[in-house]
Structure 1
Amino acid sequence: MYARMAWLLTALTVLAAGADVWVTSAYRPLLSEEAVAVHGFPFVTAAVMGSAVMGALIVQRYARHPIGWLLCLIGFLASISLLTEAYSVWVITADGPGSRSLGGFAGWISAILGGQLSLAAFAILFLVAPDGRLLSRRWRLAVVVTLVGLGSYTAGLLTLAPAEFDLDHQEAGPVGSLFFMAGMPLIAVGLIAAMVSMVRRLWGSRGEQRQQLRLIAVAAVLIALSFVFLIVVQLFNGGVQTWTASLPLFASYFCLPLLFAFAVLRYRLFDLDLIINRAVVLALGTGFAAIGYTVLVVAVAALVNTRTSGFWLSLLATALVALAFQPLRRQVVRLANRLAYGARALPYEALSEFSRRLAETPSPTSLLPAVAEAAGRAVSAQSSTAVLRVPGAEAIVKVWPATANGAPEYEVPVRHGGVTLGSIGVTMPKGRGLRAADERLLHDLADQAALAFRNAAMESELAAHVAALDRTTGALAESRRRIIAADDAARYRLEAAISREVLSHVQPLPERLNSLSVARSGTAASAELEQLVTRTNTALESLRELTRGVFPTQLARAGLTRALRSHLARSGLAATLSVDPAADRRFPPRVETAVYFCCVEALRAGSPAARIDLRIVGADLVVQVRGVARDEIDVQAIVDRVEAVGGSPSLDDLRRLSVSIPVGAVEPPSAPVAV
């Protein structure tokens, strides 16, 4: 109900202001000195409509707020005063329609509802702004002084005859003059007190409230000083309103609704953002529908030559307008946000766009640039950074814009379930820091992006696991190829060894046996047969050794040291074996097998003067083979053998093969081992 009443007063204010412009233009130019300096066009006309609209918006949000009702009443009563003043001047000075008494009565009404009433209302408005309460109980005196001044001035007007009233040439009697002389200064004192009250409120305010009060205080100071200026100038020029005297007051009045609107839109005074936003959307949508409907109806009617039914034409136009408006809806809402929220609309637009992009479940490569861009645009940063930390991998970092570099000045962590998944950082322009509202906005953005960060981290982890699995699969395939190659090589070596060490003794046997059958002497035949038996036994012994594989029986029976010494003795190599006393003991079979294999493989292609060193270093068995030909040994086979028992091999440029295998703590042997 209160809101409807406020909007009704606003509508009447707009109608009265429009009628005033029409009446004024009927008898004098709108930009003449009389219209501007005396009547106040267009400053006062715009100010009354702006005050009424601003008051109605406040009442829409707070039904009983004194500021809203004061602004509504100021706008409405001032518009009535403008209209009656214009009509009175039209009748009295330009022979307008109506009698002289009607013109005088209209002028008298205009004087009662005119500038003094508005100024007194302004004084009270500034005394209670912005929360509707006085600064303290002592400021009631300022309200009383203002009301007494208004009452005194109104009493002076009541001493005059309304039918004979003339705005330009009106002389009051002694009583009326006394009332006028008392009323004007008292209203001026009330305005000055209101200005002081606003300044004191401003000194005691902090943060956003200080920004709001600063604009209202500017309005109060402008109106108070311009009114005092008007009084002083009229004291010197005989009470005549001129450009110099009136324009400062009219301009201050015009600035009042603008400053209130700026405080509302930029600093959220009275929390009217949403109301203004919806009103702008409604106005733009209504205007688009009305213009589109009219244009389509006229265009279609012209095309069909007006013989189409009005109902179907209207239905077609309505459908086309609705279809055309839907694609423009987002732009209309964005424009309304800009008009209602100003620069503060940017964060919400950025968050809205970011939410839309999150709905597409982006991958880390597209998520992080979206987060960085949203954060940068939300707080109007110079640059921004989004970091995603993936366990077991390097952090993924994206910056906005792409050319930005350097670490961010402010960082906000992104957490999900108590786990820090990354961070959002911004670098503000020079001379501007991160405000508390911006910091809260970044935290909100981080909370909104936390789930997406978690999904992206899981996707990155899964991709890393898949890559590791691919590498493992490749390694297994390579290991399989190496095993097959090693098996083939072992077969080829076994075949070569049989040819060299077995067949060399067996192949001559048939020929030698044939020669024995024709031998002349039994003694010679007996000696030859004994040699054949010896060669046969040697071949069989070599075959027996070959069938045991690379690792001789002695390795399992006597240990690593004795097996290596036996191998050196059988092979006839001049290699040297040096064994540390702590290493001259038994080790796990797999360790002994791996070390024996490495030594045999290294000596196979090594120099005759190779050297083998076995020692214990800490908890590792360290084996070094010097004099190794790097290009002639199967390095991969050695690596596979050593890594299978948890060791690590290395082959340096000094023809030295080093193998380190963990064997645990070593206890000194209880008795020396004979070799």
Structure 2
Amino acid sequence: MYARVAWVLTALTLLIAGADVWVTSAYRPLLSEEAVAVHGFPFVTGAVVGCAAMGALIVARWARHPIGWLLCLTGFLASISLLTEAYSVWVVTADGPGSRSLGGVAGWISALLGGQLSLAGLAIVFLIAPDGHLLSRRWRAAAVVALVGYGSYAATLLTLSPTEFDIDSHAVGPLGSLLSLFGLPLIAGGLVAAMVSMVRRLRRSQGEQRQQLRLIAVGAVFVALSFVYLIVVQLFNGGQQTWIASLPLFVSYFCLPLLFAIAVLRYRLFDIDLIINRAVVLALGTIFAGIGYAGLVLAVAALVNTRTSGFWLSLLATSLVALAFQPLRRQVVRFANRLAYGARALPYEALSDFSRRLAETPSPRSLLPAVAEAAARAVSARSSTAVLQVPGSVGISDVWPGPADGTPEYQVLVRQDGDTLGSIGVTMPKGRGLRAADEQLLQDLADQTALAFRNAAMESELAAHVAALDRTTEALAESRRRIIAADDAARCQLESAISRDVLLQLESIPERLSGLSVARSGIAATSELEQLVDETNAALESLRELTRGVFPTQLARTGLSRALRSHLARNGLDATLHVETPADRRFPARVEAAVYFCCVEALRAGSAAARIDLQIVAEELVVQIRGFARDQIDVQAIVDRVEAAGGRPWLDDKGLLSVSIPVGAGEPEPVAV
């Protein structure tokens, strides 16, 4: 209901302003000095229409907002003042239609609803802008001063007869002169007080509100100073209203709705962007339809030389206009968005495209660039970074439009159900910060992408698990290949050892036994037979040791240190064995087997200067082996054997092999020999 009343007042203001232009043009040129300096055309005409339109837009969004109603009523009443002034001057000075008394009444109404009332209303608007409330209770006095000033001026007019009123000459009595003496200065004082209030409110504001108030403050200062300038100039020129005196005030009137429009469109004052957007779309569509319909109907009528009132012709023109408007609809909507939202039109298009891309369930590789691009375009940032946190791994990030140029200035976290899934950061251009609306836009974008981030994180985590399983499978396959290769090598080594240490000795026994069977008995035969028996026993002992593998029976029977000494003596090795543990100290079987294997492998590639040191350090058996050829041992076999026993091997560049294996509390009791 309120919005309808406001729009009706705006429509009436537009019609009255149009009538004023027509009446003024009837008796004087529109660009003459009288029309510009006295009547205010076209500045005041544009100002009243702009104020009424801005007031209606505000009321359409906030039905009871006092600024909207003040602007709407000020524009409406000022348009009436313009029309009645033009008619009065037409009748009184140019013999226009109507009686002299009617012209006097019109001039009296024009003076009553004219500039003084508009200035008092604007003073109150500036006092309560932008939230509709005074800065404090003390500023009520400023509003009262402006209203009293207008009341004094109106009382001056009440002392005059409306039918005999002369708009160019205000002949008032002593009472009227006294009232007039107080009227204009009080209105000027109210305007100056409103200007001071606006400046103080501006100093207290921050962020986006400061941007809004800065424009309104400029309008307030401009109106107040130009009105004071008008009074001063008229004091010196005998009260004559010339263009030098009036033009600054008229220009300030004209700029006032423009400044309000910039505050509304650029800085979202009163949040009426959507109303402006729809109004622009409707207006452009109506203009296109009207021009297209009229053009088609007239063109067809001219071609077929017929009247333009036919039903089928109108239907055809309407259809063609509707079809022709469809290709232009997207451009019209984009233009309306640009006009209503300014630079913020792009964010909504970017977010719309981003929503469509989210519906396609993108992978993390394509999701992060899309999020970064949408964030940067939404707030017109110089660059944007999207980070996805993947549990158990390093976060994934992407930067738009190019490589990262440092840490983002502003960041918003992407959360869902209390879990932080990532972040969106933007870097704004120099000299421009992030407004409250932009922060809310980024937060909405983060909320919109939360589910997509959750899915992408799960996909990345699953991919990481699959990659880990692939690596484990590859490691197992490599381990299996090493085991098979080690088994084949052990078989070949065993075969070679049997051929060298057993078969070579046993092959000559049958031939030597045959020689003994035909030889004479005696001491020589007995000695040779005993030698054959010893060689056979040695071959069998070697076979017994080889069939048990590298670990002799003595290792399980007598322990690590004695088994190593026996190995050195049996193989005629000159290596030094230094043991700092008791000879009868026993260790777990896996530990002894691993250490024995490492020592045998190293001694096989060792020299006469080889040395083995065994000692206990902090419940760990530490073995150090020196004096072997590093390139002649199977390092991987030693690593596998030691790690299987829970130990740590390492080999330095100086030919030192160190093995550390925990012996723990589970070692067996010493076995007496």
Calculate percent identity across the aligned residue pairs. 73
Shift of 1:125: 4.0
Structure 2 Cα separation of the partners of residues 301 and 642 of structure 1: 104
Q: Secondary structure at the match of 1:655?
A: coil
Residue 193 of structure 1 pairs with residue 183 of structure 2: no
Shift of 1:562: 1.9
Shift of 1:297: 7.5
Which moved further from structure 2: 229-238 or 356-365?
356-365
Q: Secondary structure at the match of 1:536?
A: helix
Q: 2:579 — aligned with what?
A: 579
1:145 to 137, 143, 148: 148
Q: Secondary structure at the match of 1:387?
A: strand
Q: 1:219 — aligned with what?
A: 219
Q: 2:327 — aligned with what?
A: 324
The answer (yes or no) to whether the contact 1:265–1:341 under 8 Å persists in 2 is yes
Shift of 1:490: 1.0
Structure 1 Cα separation of the partners of residues 323 and 303 of structure 2: 16
Shift of 1:546: 1.7
Shift of 1:299: 8.7
Cα pair distance change 1:236/1:373, threshold 3 Å: same
Give the partner amino acid of 1:179: G
Q: Secondary structure at the match of 2:470?
A: helix
Q: Secondary structure at the match of 1:609?
A: strand
Q: 2:200 — aligned with what?
A: 203
Uncovered stretches (5+) of structure 1, i.e. residues with no partner: none
The answer (yes or no) to whether the contact 1:389–1:421 under 8 Å persists in 2 is yes
After TM superposition, the structure 1 = structure 2 runs for residues 587-602 of structure 1, keeping only pairs within 5 Å, are 587-602=587-602
Structure 2 Cα separation of the partners of residues 583 and 507 of structure 1: 40
Residue 310 of structure 1 pairs with residue 307 of structure 2: no
Shift of 1:45: 1.0
Deviations 1:189-212 (A, max 9, x none): 134224314523642553355554
Structure 2 Cα separation of the partners of residues 483 and 317 of structure 1: 84
Cα pair distance change 1:211/1:102, threshold 3 Å: same
Deviations 1:306-333 (A, max 9, x none): 999537635753663464256x1xx655
Structure 2 Cα separation of the partners of residues 391 and 583 of structure 1: 52
Residue 159 of structure 1 pairs with residue 156 of structure 2: no
The answer (yes or no) to whether the contact 1:622–1:659 under 8 Å persists in 2 is yes
Give the partner amino acid of 2:161: T
Q: 1:76 — aligned with what?
A: 76
Cα pair distance change 1:400/1:238, threshold 3 Å: same
Q: 2:60 — aligned with what?
A: 60
After TM superposition, the structure 1 = structure 2 runs for residues 414-429 of structure 1, keeping only pairs within 5 Å, are 414-429=414-429
Structure 2 Cα separation of the partners of residues 54 and 248 of structure 1: 22
Structure 2 Cα separation of the partners of residues 232 and 396 of structure 1: 69
Cα pair distance change 1:562/1:341, threshold 3 Å: same
Q: Secondary structure at the match of 1:535?
A: helix
The answer (yes or no) to whether the contact 2:385–2:424 under 8 Å persists in 1 is yes
Shift of 1:575: 1.5
Uncovered stretches (5+) of structure 2, i.e. residues with no partner: none
Structure 2 Cα separation of the partners of residues 322 and 563 of structure 1: 101
Which moved further from structure 2: 7-16 or 130-139?
130-139
Residue 250 of structure 1 pairs with residue 250 of structure 2: yes
Structure 2 Cα separation of the partners of residues 189 and 226 of structure 1: 15
Structure 1 Cα separation of the partners of residues 392 and 544 of structure 2: 53
Shift of 1:46: 0.5
Shift of 1:20: 2.6
Structure 1 Cα separation of the partners of residues 589 and 669 of structure 2: 21
The answer (yes or no) to whether the contact 1:149–1:183 under 8 Å persists in 2 is yes
Shift of 1:220: 3.5
Give the partner amino acid of 2:32: S
Deviations 1:93-148 (A, max 9, x none): 55656666665655454444333343343344445555556653545642551342
Shift of 1:260: 2.6
Structure 1 Cα separation of the partners of residues 621 and 34 of structure 2: 112
Q: Secondary structure at the match of 1:551?
A: coil
The answer (yes or no) to whether the contact 2:555–2:562 under 8 Å persists in 1 is yes
Structure 2 Cα separation of the partners of residues 217 and 357 of structure 1: 44
Deviations 1:539-565 (A, max 9, x none): 333222221122222222222222222
Shift of 1:517: 5.0
2:179 to 166, 173, 182: 182
The answer (yes or no) to whether the contact 1:88–1:104 under 8 Å persists in 2 is yes
Give the partner amino acid of 2:59: V
Give the partner amino acid of 2:647: G
Q: Secondary structure at the match of 2:47?
A: helix
The answer (yes or no) to whether the contact 1:582–1:616 under 8 Å persists in 2 is no
Shift of 1:499: 0.8
The alignment's TM-score, normalised by the length of structure 2, stands at: 0.86
After TM superposition, the structure 1 = structure 2 runs for residues 449-464 of structure 1, keeping only pairs within 5 Å, are 449-464=449-464
Structure 1 Cα separation of the partners of residues 264 and 494 of structure 2: 96
Q: 1:86 — aligned with what?
A: 86
Equivalenced residue count is: 664
Q: Secondary structure at the match of 1:614?
A: strand
Residue 113 of structure 1 pairs with residue 113 of structure 2: yes
After TM superposition, the structure 1 = structure 2 runs for residues 212-291 of structure 1, keeping only pairs within 5 Å, are 212-287=212-287
Structure 2 Cα separation of the partners of residues 54 and 509 of structure 1: 124
The answer (yes or no) to whether the contact 1:3–1:63 under 8 Å persists in 2 is yes
Give the partner amino acid of 1:608: A
Q: 1:570 — aligned with what?
A: 570
Deviations 1:568-607 (A, max 9, x none): 2221211121111268622211121111111112222222
Q: Secondary structure at the match of 1:554?
A: helix
Structure 2 Cα separation of the partners of residues 293 and 505 of structure 1: 120
After TM superposition, the structure 1 = structure 2 runs for residues 616-627 of structure 1, keeping only pairs within 5 Å, are 616-627=616-627
Q: Secondary structure at the match of 1:607?
A: strand
Structure 2 Cα separation of the partners of residues 310 and 105 of structure 1: 51
